[in-house]
Amino acid sequence: MKSPVEFASACPVSLKEYPTVTMAHGGGGKLMHDLLEKIFFAAFDANSTPNRHDSAILELPVNRIAFTTDSYVVRPIFFPGGDIGSLAVHGTVNDLAMSGARPAWLSAAFILHEGLPMETLWRVVCSMREAARRCGVRIVTGDTKVVDATTGEGLYINTSGIGVVEHSLQIGAASVQSGDAVLVNGDVGRHGMAVMSVREGLSFQGSIQSDSGPLFNAVEALLSNQVEVHCLRDLTRGGLASALNEIAEAAGHGIAIEEEAIPVRGDVHAACEMLGLDPLQVACEGRFVAFVPERDAARALEILRSQEAEANAKVIGRVDRREPPWVVMKNSLGSLRALDTPVGELLPRIC
Amino acid sequence: MKYLDEYRDGATARTYAQEIARITTRPWSIMEVCGGQTHSIVKYGIDTLLPAGIALIHGPGCPVCVTPVDLIDKAILIASRPSVIFCSFGDMLRVPSNGDDLLAAKARGSDVRILYSPTDAVQLAVSNPGREVVFFAIGFETTAPATAMAVWQAAQLGLKNFSLLVSHVLAPPAMEALLSSPDCRVQAFLAAGHVCAVTGSEIYEAMAKRFHVPVVVTGFEPLDILQGVLMCVRQLESGQAKVENQYTRAVRAAGNIHAQDLMRRVFQVAPQTWRGLGEIPQSGLALRPGFEAFDAQKKFGLSSVHTCEPAECQSGLVLQGRIKPPECPAFRLGCTPEHPLGAPMVSSEGACAAYFRYRSLA
Amino acid sequence: MCLAIPGKITRIDEADSLSRTGTVDFGGIAKSVNLTFVPEAKLGDYVLVHVGFAISQVDESEANAVFDYLREMGELSELKERGP
């Protein structure tokens, strides 16, 4: 990661002249034109056509495409293992991957608070450029607005994405069947705790890095090895508990998981114990659950493990016919409990 | 984590449950005092491991739950002042009062910040000399020493822009109040382990004798609670009423005298209203006269605020252990963590929240 | 009432007039902790930490008490069954 000094000296907008974003940068005039040319186009244009039209024209090689959108408002903007920019690319790219679509094009819309340091903007945009390159996607269109605000640290990003569907499966909750194995591609809770570790008032020292990263390679590996993928869901806000509950409800099937099978790193476990949080409810950004037929489970696990060995992919449970179709979990004591969707913002507790 | 994870071993837990079943000849009702113990019991399904005759009654040991409701209103009022930075532990932010809470106040523009430690608030006051820093000081005897240290540090530094909204409560008076109630069903206590790390276990000797009730100081992990229950049942079956210490790795008979010293220097015992339980004499802590300058209620000149609790909320009965959360008509219907009627549904230590979250499959 | 977790003291800061502080490691993450209430605790000792304060030193010799008690109960019940 480049140091802030390197970023500052590389920032194409003169920081002496414009150390922060101003309302005029969003005004549609020369300053805005400069901002677009020097920051956004300079970063995202590397392998794009230099057209500056209102929309990007795309050549689609197939009949089925996946289309998704998401907005990113994480605080703080920079955290161990990533920032709002890389998150905005990975998050949308991963939503496409969850349909089994190869991510191809992204749009990026920015809402900036007046007073946002220009260097912060440049760092975030460069991070997006790097993430897009790693994911093999191009950022082809976008928008910028500057708003009045009481604090100058505001930066919000929306990314929409188009992906190309090259398989003929119907990957989604409707395809989930009783008896399916449930796999997770790695240990959970890293992202949320990485962000927590630098949050004012709650910070702690350690080496927990966000797991934010692209998932399509893992998905492609499953598909190209003829694993009959029934459903995929990336774990974001609300963590594993949230994702499993969404699928159980949409599929109308119960899911039974074993707590001892769920991988959680020692330091994430310790951070959660310290703040009184449940790792199964903590956000991830580079993790997904896959529902595959039992006969494909062992092969799918091997494939996921070969993608990222240190992440510790595991089979965590099975889909069943229980009524009502809840998500239930067997804990270390052998007790069976419902694992419900978390409610509201996760707040660290005193007791 | 060392000295934590090993006390969650399933095989040992089942062996404890078998031993408890082996020696139980009659029904017994045992109260676990602390919300953290309730959380553990419901999360791990410890009550389902015990023989049918052993009833675990959930106690009022959740400081978030018992903070007087008018203090929440005062907190929101203070936080709404532009010069104020209002600091609190995370789980206080969603406690409802008159349909409002600190999180909503934050959304309206109040500067409300979550802190991990009371001394962080002192640091905030030092680095923000132009702002008034107010800390919501809640907790049992476990937390009072930390608050005392924050006050003492602020006094040493001569800070003028730091104060606390105090609601510290004491466990033994609440236990005695419950025992003194005519329809009390509690026959033994699992006393709160971390409270006792500070206060010591010998403070319960008089209570155990007077009410002829076993008191076992107990930890929080499943094996701690199971051993605590076994020790209670052994006493109950043999008609004993002693104070015993299950949590020997953390609790000494005399407790932590350094922590107690500082508490005594900064605080004095005072009457206290417990949300859901009413006023219990000599059950709270108030700042001593020498530290009055740090009392936010005095500093901001707040008189009593009129608050009303929703009629359907039965958190008082839950906190007294008279009903279990699922027996409340509003449980899961009108009252959920998203739209709580009372504090026990909001605090993740509260019994209602624990039952909501770790839903039984029965 | 009280979320307190055990951790190992990995550093003790130079004492200042306000407090004795140090760093406690909780199995991979570390936090600055106020050690004023455990003046006898040394580097390498385990303490219970609640809201940034060490409230008690872990008595490591008692760590197995939970398991020893169960074993003793088991032995006791065996003796009773065997009879005199």
Q: A242-278 pLDDT, tens per residue?
A: 999 999 999 999 999 999 999 999 999 999 998 888 9
Closest residue on chain A to C52 (Cα)? A274
Predicted confidence band at A63 (pLDDT cuts at 50, 70, 90)?
Answer: confident
Quick one: pLDDT at residue A347? 67
Name chain B's partners: 3 or more CB pairs within 8 A: A, C
- May I ask the CATH class of domain C5-82? mainly beta
Quick one: pLDDT at residue C47? 97
Residue B279, beta-bridge partner list: B273
Q: Is the pLDDT of residue A74 over 70?
A: yes
Query: Do B49 and A335 count as a contact with CB atoms less than 8 A apart?
Result: yes
Q: Residues C5-29: what's their mean pLDDT? A: 90
Q: Is the pLDDT of residue A49 over 70?
A: no
**Cα–Cα dist B7/A85, whole Å:** 42
Cβ neighbours of A312 (radius 10 Å) = 16
Query: Do C28 and A274 count as a contact with CB atoms less than 8 A apart?
Result: no
Q: Are residues A141 and A196 in the same domain?
A: no
Domain-located, residue A52 = no
Query: Do C56 and B156 count as a contact with CB atoms less than 8 A apart?
Result: no
Q: Are residues A21 and A149 in the same domain?
A: yes
Q: Are residues A116 and A195 in the same domain?
A: no
Query: Which residue type is seen at A350?
Result: I
Query: Do B249 and C67 count as a contact with CB atoms less than 8 A apart?
Result: no
Query: Do A351 and C51 count as a contact with CB atoms less than 8 A apart?
Result: no
Quick one: pLDDT at residue A203? 83
Quick one: pLDDT at residue A38? 87
Q: B222 contacts in A (CB within 8 Å)?
A: 333
As for how many domains chain A has, the answer is 2
- pTM tops 0.80, yes or no: yes
Q: Residues A87-94: what's their mean pLDDT? A: 96
Q: Is the pLDDT of residue B298 over 90?
A: yes
Q: Could you give the angle at the alpha carbon of B297 between the alpha carbons of B296 and B301, nearest 5°? A: 110
Q: Are residues A161 and A178 in the same domain?
A: no
A205, A349, A350 member nearest C29 (Cβ): A205
Q: Residue A81 is part of which domain span?
A: 4-47+63-165
Q: Work out the minimum CA distance from B93 to partner chain A, whole angstroms.
A: 8
The number of CA neighbours under 13 Å toward the Cβ of C28 is 20
Q: Are residues A316 and A227 in the same domain?
A: yes
The tokens for C23 are: 């760093």
Closest residue on chain A to C26 (Cα)? A270
Quick one: pLDDT at residue B316? 87
**pLDDT, mean over chain B:** 93
pLDDT tens digits, one per residue of B45-74: 999 999 999 999 999 999 988 999 889 999
**C 2-61 near A (Cβ less than 8 A):** 2-3, 5, 23, 26-31, 49, 51
Domain-located, residue A102 = yes
Domain-located, residue B351 = yes
Predicted confidence band at B191 (pLDDT cuts at 50, 70, 90)?
Answer: very high
Quick one: pLDDT at residue A50? 53
Among A131, A165, A199, the domain-final residue is A165
As for how many domains chain B has, the answer is 1
Among A149, A165, A181, the domain-final residue is A165
Query: Which residue type is seen at A231?
Result: C
Q: Is the pLDDT of residue B100 over 80?
A: yes
Mutate to test the interface with A, among C24, C26, C29 (most CBs of A within 10 A): C29
Query: Do B194 and C50 count as a contact with CB atoms less than 8 A apart?
Result: yes
Secondary structure class of C38 (helix, strand, coil): coil
Q: A202 contacts in B (CB within 8 Å)?
A: 114-116
Q: Are residues A108 and A195 in the same domain?
A: no
pLDDT tens digits, one per residue of A301-325: 999 999 987 889 999 999 999 888 9
Predicted confidence band at C42 (pLDDT cuts at 50, 70, 90)?
Answer: very high
Query: Do B139 and A350 count as a contact with CB atoms less than 8 A apart?
Result: yes
The tokens for B158 are: 């001569």
Among A147, A165, A183, the domain-final residue is A165
Quick one: pLDDT at residue B346? 81
Q: Residue B324 is part of which domain span?
A: 315-357
Q: B336 contacts in A (CB within 8 Å)?
A: 343
Q: C27 contacts in B (CB within 8 Å)?
A: 1-2
Domain-located, residue A350 = no
* % of chain A surpassing 90 pLDDT: 63
Q: Is the pLDDT of residue A7 over 70?
A: no
Could you tell me the CA-to-CA distances from A86 to A80, A128, A282 in Å, in that order?
12, 5, 19
Quick one: pLDDT at residue A276? 84
Q: Of residues A51 and B40, which shows the higher confidence score?
A: B40
Q: Are residues A128 and A247 in the same domain?
A: no
**pLDDT, mean over chain C:** 90
Q: What is the CATH number of the domain that holds A26?
A: 3.30.1330.10
Predicted confidence band at B98 (pLDDT cuts at 50, 70, 90)?
Answer: confident
Quick one: pLDDT at residue A14? 80
Domain-located, residue B88 = no
Predicted confidence band at A345 (pLDDT cuts at 50, 70, 90)?
Answer: low
Q: Residues B247-256: what's their mean pLDDT? A: 97
Domain-located, residue B328 = yes
**Cα–Cα dist C10/C25, whole Å:** 6
Q: Residues B313-327: what's their mean pLDDT? A: 89
Predicted confidence band at B320 (pLDDT cuts at 50, 70, 90)?
Answer: confident
Q: What is the CATH number of the domain that holds A276?
A: 3.90.650.10
Closest residue on chain A to C48 (Cα)? A274
Q: Is the pLDDT of residue A2 over 60?
A: no
Q: Are residues A143 and A185 in the same domain?
A: no
**pLDDT, mean over chain A:** 89
Question: Cβ(C5)–Cβ(A274) under 8 Å?
Answer: yes
Q: Is the pLDDT of residue A1 over 70?
A: no
pLDDT tens digits, one per residue of B172-183: 999 999 999 888
* % of chain B surpassing 70 pLDDT: 99
Predicted confidence band at A32 (pLDDT cuts at 50, 70, 90)?
Answer: confident
Quick one: pLDDT at residue B205? 96
Domain-located, residue A155 = yes
Q: Is the pLDDT of residue C1 over 60?
A: no
Quick one: pLDDT at residue A9? 58
Q: Is the pLDDT of residue B311 over 90?
A: no
Q: Are residues A251 and A120 in the same domain?
A: no
Q: Are residues A181 and A154 in the same domain?
A: no
Quick one: pLDDT at residue C2? 75
Q: Could you give the angle at the alpha carbon of A335 between the alpha carbons of A333 and A337, nearest 5°? A: 135
Q: Are residues A103 and A207 in the same domain?
A: no
pLDDT tens digits, one per residue of A128-165: 999 999 999 999 999 999 998 776 578 999 999 999 99
Query: Do A275 and B116 count as a contact with CB atoms less than 8 A apart?
Result: yes
Quick one: pLDDT at residue B75? 96
C27, C52, C77 member nearest B1 (Cβ): C27
Quick one: pLDDT at residue C84? 63
- Model ipTM value: 0.93
Domain-located, residue B104 = no
Quick one: pLDDT at residue B312? 87
Quick one: pLDDT at residue B362? 63
Q: Are residues A196 and A147 in the same domain?
A: no
Predicted confidence band at A51 (pLDDT cuts at 50, 70, 90)?
Answer: low
Query: Do C19 and B116 count as a contact with CB atoms less than 8 A apart?
Result: no
